Amino acid sequence: MNDLPNPDLIYDLFGGIFKPQFIRIALLLDVFTPLARPSTAEQVAQACRADSTGIQTLLDYFVAAQILEKHGDRYSLTLTAETFLVRGRKAYAGDMLLDYTDPKMYDSILESICTGQPRSLNENFVQDAWLESYSQTRIPNSLEMWKAAGVRPEDKKPLRLLDLASGCAIKSFALAQASPNLRVTCLDSADVLDVARDLAARMDITSSVTLLPADLFTADLGDSLFDLALVGQITHYLTPAQNRDLLRRIHAALTDSGTLVIDCPMSKETHTESSAFLNLFLWSNGGGTAHSFESYRVWLKEVGFQSVTQLSERWLKAEK
């Protein structure tokens, strides 16, 4: 009797879709903006030009999901909703959520699979950076990464760190906050660096940070300017040729004893569900892939790094 089909696997295939689609409906109706002030369902419905009973059931769902609060007959925003879901706020993430829940995106993935031609990636890096900048787990996880790479916050000597495609730069800022002798240069697009600027102020390390708006593919990284370099969550979007070129320029930018840390998911012979999802998503949205540690090792050795060590499933360090 053990040889039976498992219906739970099928339920799991679609069970998680409801929450993303409900948030899509709420964002399309813009129910969170009128809740900047506590309001009744009728008031929200009037602002959204929708039925009050329908709005009430939708708002009650988000109360249960801990996105909203309800006191008496009035609904209000939690701090999370106030920060990320009110249109016009600096950390508004609604456009990214709408992109990821849009059926057109999945029709495009279907087309990519049928034609073999990946679609152009349209990822909202700015809103993703805002979300990451408030992550409570990134700082301790980042300090663990630096520790694994042999970088100690208590080091007394001045250190210069180049964070490439930095996003909000929370991984580098975690080290800078713990090490007053560290100076961080963040390279990314100007709009993403606005998030890094905001986070540096919140972490009280503005004086330790230099923002460098530049194109990752063409930026002059200089010669022997940095003791450390970090590349995170970008190499899996790049082709082997692009990665080789980037790693070559990083090698030149590091001092003779410099260290590069890469933080990016790496492929293995046997996929987990999460790694297989990543490969499918990356390929269909721009032709990217999760590269293997062996691929990184070959590229790094080719451009002159002497020692390459895998630190975890997503971390490696390379030393000149």
pLDDT tens, 263-302? 998 988 778 888 888 888 888 888 888 899 999 999 999 9
Q: Which residues, other chains included, contact 105 with Cβ-Cβ below 8 Å and sequence gap of 6+?
A: 99
Length in residues, the chain: 320
Longest Cα pair distance anywhere in the chain, in angstroms?
Answer: 67
Q: Is the pLDDT of residue 78 over 90?
A: yes
Average confidence (pLDDT) over 101-121: 89
Residues 225 and 199: beta-carbon distance below 8 Å: no
Q: Which of 40-44, 102-106, 276-280 has the highest mean pLDDT?
A: 40-44
In one letter, which amino acid is 50?
A
pLDDT of residue 77: 98
DSSP 255-307: EEEEEEEEES--B-SSPPHHHHHHHHHHHHTTS----BHHHHHHHHHHTT-SE
Q: Is the pLDDT of residue 85 over 90?
A: yes
Residues 221 and 185: beta-carbon distance below 8 Å: no
Return d(Cα 268, Cα 85) in angstroms, integer. Answer: 37
Q: What percentage of the chain exceeds 70 in pLDDT?
A: 98
pLDDT tens, 191-209? 999 999 999 999 999 999 9
pLDDT tens, 301-318? 999 999 999 999 999 999
pLDDT of residue 235: 94
Average confidence (pLDDT) over 215-243: 94
Mean confidence (pLDDT) of the chain: 94
Residue 138, token pair as written in the block = 């990134």
> Dihedral through CA 16, CA 18, CA 19, CA 23, nearest 10?
140
pLDDT of residue 2: 67
Domains and CATH numbers, the chain: 7-91 (1.10.10.10), 126-268+286-319 (3.40.50.150)
Residues 215 and 246: beta-carbon distance below 8 Å: no
